[in-house]
């Protein structure tokens, strides 16, 4: 992907002139496979009754899936690798009505991390079949977690838990 251009801005949008430099390392654990090959084909929000998608883990991360099928819903984090990273104000509808990036669920963010709650359909070896994703095919996978509302802490309680 080529760098963003001011010609790509909609009315009312603005960009940051701060240099974009990496200040953290993210370990991709796999790749997301969806039917969405362009942003125009990608839904704005995933639907839990949407098409089946695949979370394909790298073989070295397959053991980390142990126990994941105990959960009906998962939180999936992924890297929105084709998103620009410099918009401060955005016009998501293209009508000139702007909002700050942090007030939107737009993929255009300083750190383009996507988050979707998905329904786990089944596990096939090192691959999870899920519904509810809203990202492009071949999106890098960052992490998979049990749905926070369904997760019960398994470690012994500590004093900070009762504060």
pLDDT band (50, 70, 90) for residue 3: low
More confident: 1 or 23: 23
Quote the pLDDT of residue 101.
Answer: 93
Q: Name residues whose C-beta falls within 8 Å of residue 30's C-beta, 6 or more positions apart in sequence.
A: 55, 56, 57, 58, 61, 126, 140, 141
Mean pLDDT of 1-27: 72
Q: Is the pLDDT of residue 153 over 70?
A: no
The predicted-structure confidence for 23-76, as pLDDT tens digits, reads as follows: 678 899 999 999 999 988 888 888 888 999 999 999 999 999 999 999 999 999
> Which residue has 């969806």 as its token pair?
34
- Comparing CA positions, the residue from 131, 126, 31 lying closest to residue 78 is 31
CA dihedral 61, 63, 67, 69 (to 10 degrees): 60
**Mean pLDDT, to the nearest integer, of 73-86?**
94
pLDDT in tens, 87-143: 899 988 777 789 999 998 888 899 999 999 999 999 999 999 999 999 999 999 999
| Region 14-29 average pLDDT | 77
Q: Supply the DSSP string of 36-60, one letter for each residue.
A: --SGGGS-SS--TTS-EEEEEE-GG
- Expressed in percent and rounded to 5, the helix, strand and coil fractions of the chain are 15, 30, 55
Check if the beta carbon of residue 6 is closer than 8 Å to that of residue 107: no
| Local confidence band at 1 (pLDDT 50, 70, 90 cut-offs) | very low
């Amino acid at each position: 992907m080529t760098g963003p251009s001011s010609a790509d801005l909609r009315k009312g949008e603005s960009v940051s002139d701060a240099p974009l430099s990496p200040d953290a390392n993210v370990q991709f654990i796999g790749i997301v496979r969806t039917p969405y090959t362009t942003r125009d084909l990608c839904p704005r929000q995933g639907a839990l009754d949407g098409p089946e998608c695949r979370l394909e883990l790298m073989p070295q991360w397959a053991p980390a899936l142990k126990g994941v099928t105990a959960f009906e819903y998962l939180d999936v984090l992924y890297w929105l690798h084709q998103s620009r990273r410099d918009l401060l104000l955005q016009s998501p509808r293209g009508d000139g009505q702007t909002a700050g990036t942090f007030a939107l669920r737009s993929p255009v963010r300083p750190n383009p991390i996507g988050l979707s709650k998905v329904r786990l359909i089944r596990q096939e070896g090192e691959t999870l079949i899920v519904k509810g994703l809203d990202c492009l095919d071949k999106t890098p996978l960052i992490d998979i977690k049990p749905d926070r509302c369904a997760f019960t802490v398994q470690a012994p309680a500590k004093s900070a838990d009762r504060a």
